[in-house]
Amino acid sequence: MTSLFDRATFREDGELNVIIEAPKGSRNKYAYDPDEELFVLKSVLPAGAIFPFDFGFIPSTLGEDGDPVDVLVLMDEPAFPGCLVPARLVGGIEAEQTERDGATMRNDRLIAVAAKSYTHRDVRSLDDLNANLIGEIEHFFASYNQIRGKRFETVGRVGADGALQRVKEAIARASQRKGAKS
């Protein structure tokens, strides 16, 4: 059986594969456990805090934080944990995350649009989104991390090309790690 982590990153048509972990509107944060090959409830957000859009990861990637690359997917209705959503990158939030132990690392959040989205079908870049919405997304991640005793600081934004470059770097990182384990 192929692990969700080992699925292809891109589809034949060039769209990105995203595995949803936490659906839009959920207080529950699920995470895929590759050893168990299932999704596990990782945490619950406090009352009033919810995921603003579907949140997941890009398979066969490895971010600088040691996890698959995080991506927020704009779509019309929430999906469910484990759902594979074909999407296109529109940009990303460059961020530094400080852990509870004081260690700081890059932990960017990419933003994509579901390929089948009706509402967001014309969104091709961050510039196509309301600036307030991007600010709210950044605020969500800052608040989400603060609740967990961490600090999330936005250091910049990238467009679709910059986000794609980060995915390619993360694919290379994952390949190197896989080669080192063989």
Residue 82, Ramachandran bin (φ over 0: left; ψ between -120 and 50: alpha; else beta): left
User: What is the second-level CATH architecture of the domain 4-181?
Assistant: Alpha-Beta Complex (3.90)
Closest C-alpha among 39, 68, 48, 57 to residue 144 = 48
Displacement of CA 40 from its chain's centroid (Å): 17
pLDDT higher than threshold 60 for residue 2: no
What's phi and psi for 131, nearest 5 deg?
-60, -35
DSSP lists the bridge partners of residue 98 as: 104, 151
pLDDT higher than threshold 70 for residue 164: yes
Average pLDDT rounded to a whole number, residues 136-149: 92
The tens digit of pLDDT for each residue in 44-81 reads: 999 989 999 999 999 999 998 888 999 999 999 999 99
The tens digit of pLDDT for each residue in 9-31 reads: 888 888 999 999 999 999 999 99
For the chain, give the percent of residues with pLDDT over 90. 74
AA identity, residue 38: L
AA identity, residue 41: L
Would you place residue 6 in the very low, low, confident or very high pLDDT band (cuts 50, 70, 90)? low
pLDDT mean across residues, the chain: 91
Q: What global pTM score does this model have?
A: 0.91
Q: Tokens in use for 64?
A: 């600088």
